[in-house]
Structures are given as structure tokens and as C-alpha cells.
Chains A and B, each alone.
Chain A
Amino acid sequence: MIGRRWFVPWLWLAPALVLLGIFLVYPTVDTIRRSFQDEKSHGFVGLDNYRFIVDNPQPLVSDTHVALLNNLMWLTVFTAITVALGLIIAVLTARVRYEAVAKSAIFIPMAISFVAAAVIWKFMYEFNSDIGTVNAVVTSAGGDATRWLQDTGAPQTPITDAGPDTLPNPIQVNNFALVFVGVWMWTGFAVVVLSAGLKGISTEILEAARVDGANEWQIFWRIIIPNLSPTIVVVATTLVIQALKKFDLVWVMTAGRFETDVVATLFFKEFFLRGDFGVGAALAVVLLLWVVPVMVISIRRFQFQEETR
């Protein structure tokens, strides 16, 4: 008889709702409130904090434009490279006998904590070639040591060798060095998920295509990619969210110096180090707004899949 009353389902939901309220809803609402208040959250200042982010009046203290652009770079470059690499490796390893070994080797970085990986790479990138492995390789090959984590100049490739020393932010050597570490860590994840998806494509389709005379290239683009696209979207969504909340790698390796700040590191500096709750909270809200579309897309996708099941 109890089971028929209207409030019973709510009662079962209550613990989850209360916890969600404490740890998710309350902090979110409070952050939004603070983002409209002054630096000690005493009085309302309207949109001043957001205007600070847009106008960037203090580039030496907190360069909000650089942080937003760097996040954009993480979002695009990191996601694109990781998905592409993951896809290539997944497809290629599926054809070799030592697949399990190859995939494990690529997956191992994922098992390292981000802070530990960042510390390792900080040493790898060290300018002093007695310490920095990367520069040791470069100098022993006859090149000049590069300041991987400090150089804000444009990357010089053989193609752009005669090109400009600097390009607009965030196209900087140190940003690429940081993104590379992210790629190194996350490729394994992309490989594992994508190759699981790959296994799900029925061999009958592939064989039918081969019988009809499709070459491997056509199979990849016309069969594998379309069939794999739901999995690719899942991987890409995860990576996009990773890119947006990127904090640990940047914080440990450069602390956001040399124009490598991302929104999350700048938020931490403003909120906890400088004690400016207003601008800090506004940055957190910007990050939240940036993640929302990604979340909506992935939830829609999930619902769609549930319906078509």
C-alpha cells in the first residue's frame, strides 16, 4: 500500500537528490552567484567580471584572451590529433598478430597519473640537454636545443623555416609541446574504444564489400568510418571535455607561465591564489557554458541510441 503513494518514488530518489544538491547544484548556483559579485562576494557588480574576461584589461596578471585561445587550441588540435591517431592505430593494429601487445603499449600512459606524467615530461622537455631527453636527442642529431616549455614563438618546421618567428597566440612551440603530452596520454584510450567498435562491425559487410571489388582505402572510408561514427563521436566528446577542463598537465609543467594558461588554470589562480572570487567564478561559469553544448550533444546522442535500440 505504501508503494502506491505518489511520494514513494521521490523518497527512493531522495538520497541521490540530496547528494546531487549538495555536491552539484549548490556549488553551481553559488559559483554563478559569485560571478556576479565583487572579488570578496559582498556586493553585486552586474556583468563586471564577464566584462573583465572580454576586455582583458590586465594581460600581465591574468591574460583571459590567451587562456580562451589556448583552450580553443586544446579543444581542436588535441581532439583532432588524438582521434585521428587513435583511429589509425586501431585500424592498423587490428591487422597484426601482436595486436594485444601493441595496444597495451599505447594504452600504458593512460595508467599513469596526470601529475606524474607531467613531471616526467617536464624533465623530458628540460632545456639543459644533460637532463632533457628531447633536447639531448635534438642536439646529438646536430640541432639546437629548444626551450620546449618556454618558447612562445611559432614552431619552425622545414617548411616554415623562412617563416615568421611569431604567429598569433596560441600557435606557440610550448603549447604544441603541452598538447603533445595530452595526446600521448589519451591516444591509448581512443585506440581501445575505437578498436572495440571496430570489432563490432560485422565481417559480412566487409567481405561483401571486398567481393564487390572495393579496395582497402574504400573500405576504410565507405564502410569503417560510417559504421564507427557513433564510437568516434563518443571518443571525441570525451576528449573535448578533457580538453576543456585541462588543468593538471599545464599546471605542473608550466603553471600557465609563458602564455600557456588555460581557463581552468586561470580560474584557479584568480579564485584561490589571488582571492578574486568574482573573476574566478566568472571564468568557471564560462567553462561551464562551454561544456554545456558538448553535454547536450552527447546526451541527445545517447537518447537517440536508446530509442533505436
Chain B
Amino acid sequence: MRLRHAPWVSLFLSVAAVLSLVIAACGDDDEEEGGETPTGGSPTTADLSGETVDALGIWGEEELADFNAMVQPWKDDTGAGVDFVGTRDVNAILTTRVGGGDPPDAALPASLGIFRDLATDGELTPLSECPGLEEKVRAEYSEAIVDLGTVGGELYGVFMKAGNKGTIWYNPTFFSENGYEPLTADSSFQDLLDLTEQIAADKEAGKHDVFPWSDAEEIGGGSGFPGSDWIQQIVLGEFGAEVYDQWVAHEIPYNDPQIKQAWEMFGQILLEPRYVLGGTERALATTFSEGSIPLFTEPPEAAMHYLGSFNAGFITDPELGFPAGLEPGTGFDFFPFPGGGVTGDANIMMLFNNDPATCSFAEWMAGAESQSIWVARGGFTSLNTEVDLAAYTTDLDRRVAEQLTDPETVFRIDADDAMPTGVGGDNGAVFTGVLSYLGGGDLDDILKGIDDAFPQ
């Protein structure tokens, strides 16, 4: 009898166990927050040993090592640990984890869209719930940056690691040999057109065999982002910050005449086969990180390439096909995108609870002390005004940072990052529109299509 009963019992037990799992899973389904008790605590100095902060971001490989170096002093100080997951699919994972009622403690994605969505849905914890954090951020960051992190009157996010998208790359040797002057912050878009035409005319006159521009748009779901960066720089530089803000907030339609004009100016250069190496065909099929290669071949094939400040990392990487030993300043350099405005992307730190460990971690990450560590390792441009410009390792990095933090500069976050998901960002309407425009699509249809993509 015992033998006949045994499988029975174990079967029942296993069924019961599975059922209880189902019930537990169902129970979790509708819960919004993890149900943490709001306690708070005094950060940095507190003993947090045994605590772990679960953070989600985009950094891997080299950047992950930089991040680890940045949090090490905090870990030593508090005894807490950091469980960091870095993935390029951060938006998908964040959406899923929040939807499943299991958000991380902190997240550091680069998309303003997902930050705004989460803040609007009430998933985020305002910085004011961490003692002293909001005051610290307000004191150490510029007003424009604080405003960007504010949703519905509450401050939810800290913008920390920034990228400067106001940089046009060129080969200084080629420029000086042929007597071309790099543009300055005071130049206008017309100056850029003049320089372009001059290089093209010299090429046709047989002075050299170098196209004015190289362009490269391809990067999977992000294909088209360099073109989108062109357009936002033109909007900010030519029409000013006010139009830019209205444009991003969709207070003016996307097919507004001014925006259309910005696209046409972009097309004036990029759609002109005399100006662009290999024309749009090559641009659309070339990986974005390889766009600067023709500037440094021997002899060069193109004179200029527009891409954000992160391009310095590509140019100095011979594995991508660049010649080894290019030195910033002499081997390669950038001049500011004309118009006086600078756009850029930034990692946003957002919090999902106000546990003492989470608050302490956030305060450390937002501060100048931690960010200086990464700045000194290179590849990090800080938006914290307390970070000393002397901390940057190369003159070029310093100029990139200066351009961003200079009070004269009009800085704005990437338009495609700031627009709602679906419009901006990977696979969004703007990027698709850029690809379609470069592929010969009708501009009015494209702009109307992007405008339709905004939430009604």
C-alpha cells in the first residue's frame, strides 16, 4: 500500500507547489511598487554592509570597468555592494521588469523617452524622498539640466554622463596643406556651406581628389541617428533654443516650415553627390563608426565627417580600420558645429525606491568626486559643474567638456532622445524618416509621417 501511495502523495505535492507558484505570480501582477517601507537614512557615512544596490544600465566591457572604478570608493566606504547589469537592451528589460513588478533599485539608461514615460506613470521615486539628494543636484547642476530631469514639477532624474554632438571631425594635415580654415563657434551654417563648396570646387579643379564630406548612417535599429543629429544641430543653431524646445515638446508641428527648412539644409549637403563621398548610397550602407575612416586614409578621400564626441574613441581604435597612432589635436581634430548651439545625449539616473542604500548610491553617483574618477580614466564628459576641467586627460576631451559646460553655450538634449518613444530613439519615426529622405523619399510625406507619430 505504501508503495502505491507514494507517487500519489508526491504528485499532489508537486501540483500544489506549482499551483502556489502560479498564485504567487498572479498576486504580483498588479502590484505597482516593490512594497518597500519608506525609511531613508543619512547617506555616504552610513554603514550599509550587507546591502546591495541593483542597478541597470548600458555599460559593458571597458565602460563597465570604468563604472566599477567609479563605485569602488563608495563600496569601500559603506560596505554595500552593487549588482550592475549592463545591456544595450536596457529599455526592453526595464519595461519588462517594471511591468512585472520587479524594478531595479536604480537605472541609468540613455533614453529620455523611457524616463519621462516611467515618471509620468508614477513608477519612479522623486529625488526629494532621499535626504539631501534633490538639494545637492540643484546646487551642482545647471538649471537646464535640472529642468530636463523634472516631470510634473517633481525632480526624478540626474543627467550625468553626457555626449557632445556639436563636433565636426577633420584631418588637420589636409586642412593646413590646402589652406582650409576650421570653423569656429561664431560661424554660421552658410560658412559651412561655403567651405563645402570650396572643397568640392577645388576637387573639380584638380587641386586634390577629396570629397568635402563622408557620412555613415548604419547601426541596426539606430540607423539614421547621425542624420537626425545633423538636423537637430541645424534647428538649434539656425532657429534658436526656443524653436528647438517647442519642436521637441511638439508645441509646433513636426512639419513646421522652419523644421522643413532645417531638413532641406541637411539635404543641401547630404543629398548633393558632389559633396558626399559615394553619395547617399555609401552613407546608408556604411556603419556609423567607420564614417571617419576616409578622412585618414593616405591620401584622404573625404575632408569632414559629422558625428558626436564619442567618435574620438573610434578614430583612435586601429581595429576599426583607422591608421594607428592618430593623436588628438594633430592627427585628428574637431571644430564646433556652426550656429553656437550644442546638442548631446546623456545617461539619466533614476530611482525606483528610497532605501538608504539606493539613496546613498545615487548621491555618490551624482557627485563630482565619483564622476572625476571616470573623467580621469577618459571617455566621460560630466554635466556636474563641480567637476574640475583639469581632470580631463586630453586637451580635446577638455574642449568637448568646455563646449558643454560653457555658460555661453546653448546646450540641449538630443531631440530624438527627448521626443516620445515611437517618434525618437531607435526604430523611431525620425530615424526612419532620415533613411527615407536620404533614400530619395518625399520630404513633405516624411515630415507629415513623423508628425502623425506623436501621441495624439
Contact = CB atoms under 8 A, between A and B. Distances in A.
Interface string B422-439: 110011110011011001
Chain B contact residues, majority secondary structure:
helix
Interface string A9-26: 001101100110010000
A14 B15 contact: yes
A152 B432 contact: no
Most B CB atoms within 10 A — which of A2, A14, A257?
A257
Interface stretch (B58-66, B264-272, B279-287, B298-306): B279-287
Interface stretch (A201-209, A218-226, A268-276): A268-276
A53 to B, nearest CB: 16
A256 interface: yes
A147 interface: yes
Contact of A150 (B95, B285, B427): B285
Contacts of B428: 61
A15 B290 contact: no
Contact of A60 (B286, B439, B449): B449
Interface string B189-213: 0000000000000000000000000
Given A150-B218, A257-B223, A275-B421, A14 B11 contact: yes
Interface of B: 4, 8, 11, 14-15, 18-19, 22, 91-92, 95-96, 114, 117, 121, 218, 220-221, 223-224, 281-282, 284-286, 290, 321, 421-423, 426-429, 432-433, 435-436, 439, 446, 449-450, 452-453
Nearest to B430: A60
A281 to B, nearest CB: 13
Nearest to A252: B220
Contacts of B11: 11-12, 14-15
Interface of A: 2, 11-12, 14-15, 18-19, 22, 40, 57-61, 127-128, 130, 147, 149-150, 152, 254-258, 269, 272-276
Contact of B18 (A19, A147, A150, A257): A19
A156 to B, nearest CB: 14
Contacts of A18: 15, 18-19, 22
A152 B285 CA distance: 12
Contacts of A15: 11, 14-15, 18
Contacts, number: 94
29 contacts: A11-B8, A14-B15, A15-B14, A15-B18, A18-B15, A19-B18, A22-B22, A40-B121, A58-B449, A58-B453, A60-B433, A60-B446, A61-B432, A127-B285, A130-B321, A147-B285, A150-B218, A255-B221, A255-B427, A256-B221, A257-B220, A257-B223, A257-B435, A258-B284, A272-B92, A273-B95, A273-B221, A275-B95, A275-B421
B279 to A, nearest CB: 11
Contacts of A150: 218, 284-285
Contact of A59 (B18, B220, B221, B449): B449
A268 to B, nearest CB: 8
A255 B96 CA distance: 20
A306 to B, nearest CB: 29
Contacts of B8: 2, 11
Contacts of A272: 91-92, 95-96
Nearest to A261: B427
Contact of A61 (B19, B95, B121, B422): B422
B452 A58 contact: yes
Contacts of A269: 427
A275 B117 contact: yes
A273 B428 CA distance: 10
A18 B19 CA distance: 8
Contacts of A273: 91-92, 95, 221, 421, 426-427
A149 B281 CA distance: 12
A128 B290 contact: yes
B14 A57 contact: no
Contacts of A14: 11, 15
Chain A contact residues, majority secondary structure:
loop
A18 to B, nearest CB: 5
B432 A257 contact: yes
A256 B427 contact: yes
Nearest to B284: A150
B92 A255 contact: no
Contacts of B433: 60
B91 A60 contact: no
A58 B429 contact: yes
Contacts of B435: 257-258
A127 B223 contact: no
Contact of B453 (A60, A127, A257): A60
Q: Which 10 A-B pairs have the closest CB atoms?
A: A127-B285, A60-B429, A255-B221, A147-B285, A255-B220, A60-B449, A272-B92, A60-B432, A61-B453, A150-B285
A269 B453 CA distance: 15
B7 to A, nearest CB: 9
Given A58-B429, A255-B427, A258-B223, 15 more contacts: A2-B8, A11-B8, A15-B18, A18-B19, A60-B433, A60-B452, A61-B429, A61-B432, A61-B453, A150-B284, A255-B426, A257-B432, A273-B221, A273-B421, A275-B95
B223 A255 contact: yes
Nearest to A146: B285
A254 B286 CA distance: 13
Contacts of B224: 257
B327 to A, nearest CB: 25
Most B CB atoms within 10 A — which of A15, A22, A58, A274?
A274
Nearest to A253: B220
A274 B421 contact: yes
A150 to B, nearest CB: 5
Nearest to B19: A18
Most A CB atoms within 10 A — which of B218, B423, B428?
B218
A128 B282 CA distance: 8
A52 to B, nearest CB: 12
Contacts of A128: 286, 290
Nearest to A2: B4
A122 B19 CA distance: 45
A61 B254 CA distance: 14
B452 A127 contact: no
A152 B439 contact: yes
A22 B436 CA distance: 43
Contacts of B285: 127, 147, 149-150
B117 to A, nearest CB: 7
A2 B432 CA distance: 66
A258 B15 CA distance: 49
B456 to A, nearest CB: 10
A127 B92 contact: no
Nearest to B18: A18
Contacts of A257: 220-221, 223-224, 427, 432, 435
A18 B27 CA distance: 18
